[in-house]
């Protein structure tokens, strides 16, 4: 009994010593110390075998087989401990690239990757609508907006992909990008999804938090899709996974300068490691991935996404994709961007044509061109086209009709365009009823405060209030002086109106 207690005591001491010494080293130092421990374990294991065969081992004070077997178990357990600690140390250093990471940080990083715990210490935890949130008191108020988006996206994804999200997702808030980068193991990371723990990591106050959240949530939904159909999670090329994530997050090709966008072989973006390593000062793998997915969807419809996700391997994926596009993927990566540029140029030409027709006051022709744009363009093109129609009505001094059209657009449109539409409406109401201008400006301010996402200059509200007070003249002067009327048609008509209402003042 004394021998067993002694071995347990020594096992605890040596295990802690291995844990302390290895995790306080860099990669090479940790491997060297682990090697020394393993040599000791090998010697002890060999001695235990001899002791088991002979029945005793005097120089190690082993007097019977039971003690020899105990020594053997001791060596095996210590070997497992040393190997585990070495894996934790190597994983943490490889992931973060930081040789000086503290012992506790290495342990937590590994645990957060393998188990359902936060990657940061001292975070609070709450579960809401099937999602577990890790957060600090500082950003607790951000949970509501994240949860609202996730509930809406859950319904949309479940319907589109046929998935069943019944809970299990974790969302961990980070207060800075250094923490994100440390967790992911790469620089310039805005957010990431941990496949092992089904956890989304992001900075909830990032100005693009919603885009980041939906992008990472799409990875989670792809994960669910794979599990539901008994498919390998890593079977799909990373460029397609990242491309559909940006597509679901409502990115647009209009955000890119297609002429200067670089394209490489898609096969160089198949693995996540290669995808992450491909980024340079001039090349963005996310741009290529999104533009390719958007082009495919535009040509073949959204149904290609679940169809391609059903592929059981990367080989099957490319076979199905190449059959669909009628060419090898190597040929496609050489032509798809040129097709995209041609389409964008055609769209730019239509916009230019519409504005030329507006300048010539050929409103009927302009409306036909706008209809063409709305039929062929994406949501951003349609948004811009609606504004051309508003400009046409303003040019004809049909201010009430312009306001009605914009109100209809606001009622039917997405949140993304709401603030800009409300502020244009506020400008138009300056020509009709300044009180309505103030109401719409304040509505835009509330929308901004609720979303915390889109840009809004709150300094404009006091100016609209001044316009609706006994200091209206000073308010209008400040509005024009600080150039807070952005629509040129409104500006021209407002100057004309003010010249009549305040003779000699403007």
Q: How far apart are CA 288 and CA 261, in angstroms?
A: 8
Residue 303: C-alpha distances to residues 9, 152, 160, 221, 238 (Å): 62, 20, 9, 16, 19
Across the beta sheet with 169-173, what order do the strands follow? 124-128, 131-135, 169-173, 199-202, 191-194
pLDDT score of 117: 61
Q: What is the 3-state secondary structure (H, E, C) of 410-426?
A: HHHCCHHHHHHHHHHHH
Task: Check: CB of residue 65 under 8 Å from CB of residue 71.
Answer: no
In terms of C-beta distances under 8 Å and separation of at least 24 residues, what long-range contacts does 99-104 make, across chains too? Answer: 99/26, 99/27, 100/26, 103/20, 103/23, 103/24
Task: Check: CB of residue 110 under 8 Å from CB of residue 129.
Answer: no
Strand intervals (E) in 148-239: 169-173, 191-194, 199-202
Pairing mode of beta strands 199-202, 131-135: unpaired
**What is the DSSP code (8-state) at residue 271?**
S
* Angle, in degrees to the nearest 10, between helices 143-161 and 209-228: 40
Instruction: Tokens for 331, please give them.
Output: 């040929």
Residue 105: C-alpha distances to residues 96, 121, 215 (Å): 11, 9, 27
> DSSP string spanning 427-451?
HHHTTT-HHHHHHHHHHHHHHHHHH
Q: % helix / strand / coil in the chain, to the nearest 5? A: 70, 5, 25
* Angle, in degrees to the nearest 10, between helices 379-395 and 329-359: 10
134: which strand partners? 125, 172
Of 204, 217, 233, 240, which Cα lies nearest the Cα of 165?
217
In degrees, rounded to 5, the angle at the alpha carbon of residue 293 between the alpha carbons of residues 236 and 198 is 45
Q: Is the dihedral of CA 121, 99, 272, 260 positive or negative?
A: positive
φ and ψ of 133, to 5 deg: -110, 135
Say which residue the tokens 């600690």 belong to. Answer: 85
pLDDT-flagged residues of the chain (< 50):
1
Instruction: Tokens for 135, please give them.
Output: 């957060």
How does pLDDT run across 195-210, given as a tens digit for each residue? 877 899 999 988 889 9
Residue 30: C-alpha distances to residues 34, 102, 207 (Å): 6, 13, 41
φ and ψ of 260, to 5 deg: -105, 5
* Interacting residues of 409 by C-beta distance below 8 A, sequence separation 6+: 386, 417, 421
Identify the CATH assignment for 119-229 out of 3.40.30.160, 2.60.40.10, 3.40.50.150, 3.30.720.210.
Answer: 3.40.30.160
Instruction: Tokens for 321, please give them.
Output: 């994709």
Pairing mode of beta strands 131-135, 124-128: antiparallel
Task: Check: CB of residue 74 under 8 Å from CB of residue 10.
Answer: yes
Q: How far apart are CA 200 and CA 181, in angstroms?
A: 13
169: which strand partners? 131
Q: How far apart are CA 22 and CA 26, in angstroms?
A: 8
Task: Check: CB of residue 433 under 8 Å from CB of residue 468.
Answer: no
Strand, coil or helix: what is 27? helix
> DSSP string spanning 44-77?
HHHHHHHHHHHS-BGGGTB-SHHHHHHHHHHHHH
Of 203, 204, 173, 170, which Cα lies nearest the Cα of 189?
203
Number of alpha carbons in the 13 Å side-chain half-sphere of residue 205? 10
127: which strand partners? 132
Task: Check: CB of residue 343 under 8 Å from CB of residue 335.
Answer: no
Task: Check: CB of residue 329 under 8 Å from CB of residue 266.
Answer: yes
Instruction: Tokens for 37, please give them.
Output: 């421990």
Q: How far apart are CA 203 and CA 191, in angstroms?
A: 7
Max CA-CA distance within the chain? 116
């Amino acid at each position: 009994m004394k021998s067993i207690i002694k071995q347990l005591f020594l096992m605890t001491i040596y295990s802690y010593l291995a844990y302390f010494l290895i995790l306080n080293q860099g990669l090479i130092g940790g491997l060297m110390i682990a090697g020394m421990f393993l040599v000791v374990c090998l010697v002890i294991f060999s001695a235990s075998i001899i002791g088991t065969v002979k029945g005793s081992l005097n120089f190690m004070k082993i007097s019977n087989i039971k003690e020899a077997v105990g020594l053997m178990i001791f060596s095996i357990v210590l070997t497992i401990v040393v190997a585990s600690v070495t894996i934790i140390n190597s994983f943490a250093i490889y992931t973060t690239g930081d040789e000086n990471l503290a012992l506790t940080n290495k342990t937590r990083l590994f645990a957060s990757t393998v188990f359902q715990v936060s990657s940061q210490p001292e975070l609070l935890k709450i579960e809401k609508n099937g999602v577990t949130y890790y957060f600090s008191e500082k950003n607790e108020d951000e949970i509501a907006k994240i949860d609202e988006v996730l509930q809406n996206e859950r319904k949309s994804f479940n319907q589109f992909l046929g998935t069943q999200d019944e809970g299990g997702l974790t969302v961990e808030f980070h207060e800075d990008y250094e923490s994100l980068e440390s967790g992911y193991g790469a620089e310039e990371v805005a957010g990431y999804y941990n496949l092992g723990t089904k956890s989304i990591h992001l900075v909830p106050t990032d100005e693009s938090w919603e885009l980041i959240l939906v992008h990472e949530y799409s990875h989670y939904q792809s994960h669910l899709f794979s599990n539901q159909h008994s498919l390998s999670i890593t079977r799909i090329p990373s460029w397609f996974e990242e491309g559909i994530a940006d597509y679901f997050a409502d990115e647009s090709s209009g955000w890119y300068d297609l002429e200067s966008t670089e394209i490489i072989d898609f096969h160089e973006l198949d693995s996540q490691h290669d995808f992450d390593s491909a980024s340079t000062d001039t090349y963005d793998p996310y741009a290529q991935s999104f533009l390719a997915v958007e082009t495919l969807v535009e040509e073949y419809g959204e149904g290609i996404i679940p169809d391609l996700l059903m592929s059981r391997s990367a080989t099957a994926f490319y076979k199905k994709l190449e059959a669909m596009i009628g060419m090898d993927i190597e040929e496609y990566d050489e032509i798809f961007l040129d097709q995209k540029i041609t389409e964008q140029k055609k769209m730019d030409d239509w916009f230019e044509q519409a504005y030329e027709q507006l300048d010539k006051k050929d409103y009927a022709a302009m409306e036909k061109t706008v209809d063409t744009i709305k039929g062929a363009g994406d949501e951003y093109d349609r948004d811009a086209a609606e504004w051309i129609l508003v400009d046409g009505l303003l040019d004809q001094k049909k201010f009430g009709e312009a306001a009605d059209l914009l109100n209809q657009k606001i009622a039917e449109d997405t949140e993304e365009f709401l603030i800009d539409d409300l502020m244009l409406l506020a400008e138009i109401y300056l020509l009709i009823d300044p009180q309505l201008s103030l109401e719409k400006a304040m509505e835009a301010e509330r929308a901004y405060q609720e979303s915390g996402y889109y840009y809004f200059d709150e300094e404009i509200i006091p100016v609209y209030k001044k316009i609706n007070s006994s200091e209206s003249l000073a308010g209008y002067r400040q509005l024009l002086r600080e150039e807070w009327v952005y629509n040129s048609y409104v500006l021209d008509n407002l100057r004309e109106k003010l010249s009549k209402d305040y003779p000699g003042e403007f």
